[in-house]
Structure 1
Amino acid sequence: MNPRLAAFNALTAVTRGGAYTSLALKEHIPSDMPAESKRFAAALVRTTLENLLKIDYALDAFIKSARVHGSVRNILRLGACQIMFMGTKDYAAVNESALLAKSLKPQTSGFVNAVLRALINGLGGIVYPSGRNAKYLSIEYSYPEWICEKYVADFGFDFTEKLLSYKAPLSTSVRMNALKTHAAEFESSLAKARLSFSRGSVEDSYAVEGMSDIENMREFKGGLFAVQSESSMRAVLAAGIKKGDRLLDCCAAPGGKSAYAAALTDNGIEITAWDVHEHRVEMTKKNFSRLGVKNARVSLRDASVYAPEFEGGFDVVMIDAPCSSMGLMAKNPDIRYSARQQDITALSEKQRAIISACGRYVKPQGTLAYFTCSLNKEENELITDGFIEGGFGFEYVSKQTLFPHICGSDGFYIAVMRRKK
């Protein structure tokens, strides 16, 4: 398959079908495609999504028709991305885009050719928004304007610009599974697989280049590693889990944080893991089995519904709360375009219900750890501050927000609280 056609199919799955970028790439880039073509197709999709609003703004300067069909728009986006951001020769970007249009919608080939040639000739004359305002940030860094307005209000303009300008690395962040291997053996296995890597800033974390088809890797199947960000690992470390603890992971799937806790304690903890969806319960069980996690019970349960039989029963309760995932927008740009303010409002109500119920399962002097992969105060400080002030008998041990452009990993909120006597 032509890599540009694969990129078109993946981009369309994201922009018109609401697919996650990673899943769209996995589904639409054939496994038997040459490695160089795979890399080009994936880079083309990601770069287009990372710059989507700026690309559209530039294209709209040269499109005279009131409405362009979504398929044609995506062909133009891919062509413009190659011209504006990927260093593809102009003639190649135009010709390949016109050929793609001819194969998909033959009557639009001339239109695609004309628009992209006009873009090349007029690129230097486009006047983009400027000034210290949300419109400038939105077009320059390709984030919807409402997100820019929200972040400027919360963090200030200069900080927001640094945050939005951050480009996530293309490497895959993985955690070596100390239950099944050690550093020398793991690094040797990566080298044998001809994968370049570097150690991360958290013990047992690695940044690995060129990983693809991860689930079929021998090392993955054997449980030697899990895909996990450094921010996620830092959240588990902050919880201070120690041998002998009874741990409740009440929004557990796919189980990465509990599995890391098991590795940190050499399977010396007792894990109770819940999730509200049956298929995610099964996913967690499979991951625990693959990673060699022992002493774990995984069950179907809605963490927002209080269960009195668990009152005061755990040394540590982790709440990896369902959230907007907007701390992952640099790594997963599709989230930028699917996020909605009304979703944040609904999620915050769910988060309050979960922390109110699950906080009661912590023993006196025990630990409640609340995490999100969001930077939104409505999902973070406002939830935990409200809980602390709500008479539940907890006090802060620590709280922090990890910003991607500062920590070099996912955006995360981590709050650790202790139940008073």
Structure 2
Amino acid sequence: MPDNNVNLRRVAFDIVSHVLENGKYLTDALADTLRRYQYLEKNKRSYISRISRGVVERFIELDAIISTYSTTKINKLNPNIRNILRMAVYELRYMDSIPESATVNEYVKLSSKKAPSRLKGFVNGILRNMIRDEFEKVSLTENEIFSMPKWLYDKFDEEYGCASDICSAFLDTNLITIRTNLTKCTPEKLKTSLEKEGIKVHPIEDVKYGFYIEDVDYLNKLNAFKDGLFYVQDLSSMMVGEKSSVKPGDIVLDVCAAPGGKSLHIAELLYVLEDKDIEKAKEDKLTHKGHVFSYDISEEKVNLIRDNIDRTGLSNITAEIKDARVLDEKLIDKADIVIADLPCSGLGIIGKKPDIKSRINKKDIESLSLLQKDILNICKNYVKPCGTLIYSTCTISRAENQDNVRTFLESNGNF
């Protein structure tokens, strides 16, 4: 029998600890937990998601606030007490519907379960001082206000001159973006199907078959998802397919493809282009000459691609293990389009994956930039004369974007 008397704060505490102390990815930690507790009511699952994500998103700000009231430096605190205080402060600052007294009492109780009992008085004292003072003592620097590491905030300011705007955008609410599987249904049919399942659906202006969705409790429960009617994909990722100018019969290589969103998108576009009719495309799969070859470095990554191929039902796409750093002479001059969506720092998607800012550093950006250069110099060889090489990242670091493009073009006059 499912246990409906679950301590939600304790569940969220485990997520926060796994991410901030043990380096687990937030998306993985949340997905694993919500899968385990999918029997809980929607509001309880929402609480778990909101506080665990919120604490990871704002831990720099929360640490600065805690440091204002604690005589013990934040990095010297018992790790469990540190995360309990982070969660409690987040509730006090950002979850007004919860009574302050309930927040204090529940986290004092949690501290007695997760740390030496003598420390519960420490937790109680700090939280009650914050409430009594109404956070008046708190004075935050600009990077702390936006909960961004100072070096990264300064980097955004140096490169773009608008760090506060960038960091503020990261803290905005991010809706889920999806793309219609055009080989299974029309955008109109998908919208109707999702609305019948209680999902709010909003069109994306730039992509006629894309939507923003909200009020999603558990994505895997949606019939439209299980039936492969759509694929979850960021708008910027969709633009790779949109701008690819793929043509009927094209051979496309995606060299770092997992989990396969861009590969699948172009495979779908090939179906529609070659058949001009979605229903006919489903019946006429074997006649297509165009094909997408989707590569990645490990069996685990390639299996992610294969799972998505199976769910979406496409047959003009093949997933294989291949190391993009190693030249495959059999592929030289074979591709009409090569997609190089390369490993990057992910600075452009901090809004969706806030744990990036707790794990990335300057040296990572330097080494990733070098890796990207190396891979570009390999995969350029796969492009046919007059073919297309698409370089994309999900970062906003100039070293990984503009600087790499300039260096590549300076060394490769035929592109």
| TM-score, length basis structure 1 | 0.88
Quick one: distance in 2 between partners of 1:337 and 1:315? Answer: 39
Correspondence for 1:138 among 140, 143, 155:
143
Q: Which residue of 2 aligns with 1:103?
A: 113
1:351 maps onto 2:372 in alignment: yes
Matched, 1:249 2:258: no
Equivalent position to 1:200, from 195, 198, 204 = 204
The one-letter code of the counterpart of 1:85 is: Y
Q: Is the 8 A contact 2:68 2:138 kept in 1?
A: no
**Distance apart, 1:127 and its partner CA:** 4.3
Deviation at 1:101?
1.5
Distance verdict in 2 for CA 1:264–1:391, change over 3 Å? closer
Worse-superposed segment, 68-77 or 19-28: 19-28
CA contact (8 A) 1:170 1:209 kept: no
CA distance in 1: counterparts of 2:118 and 2:222, whole angstroms: 44
**Which of the residues 80, 93, 112 maps onto 1:84?**
93
- For 2:395, what is the secondary structure of its paired residue? coil
Q: Does 1:235 find its partner at 2:240?
A: yes
| Structure 1 match to 2:315 | 294
- Give 1:405's aligned residue: none
**Quick one: distance in 2 between partners of 1:137 and 1:240?**
43
The answer for the alignment partner of 1:397 in structure 2 is none
Residue 160, structure 1, aligned to residue 163, structure 2: yes
Residue aligning to 1:112: 123
Task: Kindly state the Cα deviation for residue 379 of structure 1 after the two structures are TM-superposed.
Answer: 0.9
Give the deviation of 1:294 after TM superposition. 2.0
The structure 2 residue matched to 1:188, chosen from 181, 188, 192, is 192
Please report how far the alpha carbon of residue 243 of structure 1 lies from its aligned counterpart in structure 2 after TM superposition.
1.8
After TM superposition, which residue ranges in structure 1, 4 or more long, deviate above 3 angstroms? Answer: none
Which residue number in structure 1 is paired with residue 285 of structure 2?
none
Q: Name which of 215, 226, 231 aligns with 1:226.
A: 231
From 318, 329, 332, the equivalent of 2:353 is: 332
Question: Match of 1:203, SS?
Answer: strand
Mapped contact 1:228–1:256 kept (Cα < 8 A):
yes
Matches within 5 A, 1:11-410: 11-29=16-34, 30-66=37-73, 67-87=76-96, 88-105=98-115, 106-129=117-140, 136-156=141-161, 159-166=162-169, 167-201=171-205, 202-266=207-271, 268=274, 269-394=290-415
**Is contact 2:369–2:399 with CA below 8 Å preserved after alignment?**
yes
> 1:97 is aligned with what amino acid?
Y
Q: Is the 8 A contact 2:174 2:351 kept in 1?
A: no
User: What one-letter code is carried by the residue in structure 1 that aligns with 2:193?
Assistant: S
SS in 2 for 1:318: strand
- Report the equivalent of 1:400: none
Which position in structure 2 is the counterpart of 1:419?
A: none
Q: Distance in 1 between matches of 2:92 and 2:332?
A: 60
Any conservation in 1 of the 2:199–2:213 contact (CA below 8 Å)?
A: yes
Alignment length (residue pairs): 386
CA contact (8 A) 1:128 1:139 kept: no
CA distance 1:75–1:124, change in 2 (3 Å): closer
What residue identity is the alignment partner of 1:198? H
Q: Any unmatched runs of 5+ in structure 2?
A: 1-5, 275-289
The one-letter code matched in structure 2 to 1:279 is: E
1:278 is aligned with what amino acid? E
Question: How far apart in 2 are the matches of 1:313 and 1:348?
Answer: 26
Tell me, yes or no, if the aligned pair for 1:54 and 1:141 is still in contact at 8 Å.
Answer: yes
C-alpha deviations, 1:267-296, integer Å up to 9, x for none? 643111111111111221221121122222
Identity fraction in percent: 29
2:17 counterpart SS class: helix
CA–CA distance in structure 1, aligned partners of residues 293 and 270 of structure 2: 15
For the residue of structure 1 that corresponds to 2:69, the secondary structure is coil
Q: Kindly state the Cα deviation for residue 355 of structure 1 after the two structures are TM-superposed.
A: 0.6
User: Deviation string for 1:230-272 (max 9, x for gaps)?
Assistant: 1110122122212221111111111110111122232643111
Q: What is the CA-CA distance between 1:76 and the residue it aligns to?
A: 0.7
- What's the CA shift for 1:24? 1.3
Q: Provide the alpha-carbon RMSD of the alignment.
A: 1.6
Q: For residues 232 and 151 of structure 1, do their structure 2 counterparts lie closer, same or farther at Cα, with a shift above 3 Å needed?
A: same
Q: Deviations over 1:298-346 (max 9, x none)?
A: 2111112122221211111110101111111111110111111111111
Letter of the 1:361 partner, please give it.
Answer: Y
340-349 or 182-191, larger mean C-alpha shift: 182-191
Distance 1:246 1:309 in 2: 14
> If the length of structure 2 is used for normalisation, what is the TM-score?
0.89
Residue identity in the other structure for 2:214 = E
CA-to-aligned-CA distance 1:172-231 (integer Å, 9 cap, x gap): 211111111112321222122112221123221111113243234332221111110111
Q: Displacement of 1:387 after TM fit?
A: 0.7
The aligned counterpart of 2:284 is none
The residue number in structure 2 matching 1:10 is 15
On the 8 A contact 1:7/1:41 being kept in 2, the answer is yes
Q: Is the 8 A contact 2:256 2:342 kept in 1?
A: yes
* Contact 1:75–1:101 (CA under 8 A) maintained in structure 2: yes
Unaligned stretches of 5+ in structure 1? 130-135, 395-421
Task: Check conservation: 2:42, 2:217, Cα contact below 8 A.
Answer: no
Q: Distance in 1 between matches of 2:340 and 2:413?
A: 16
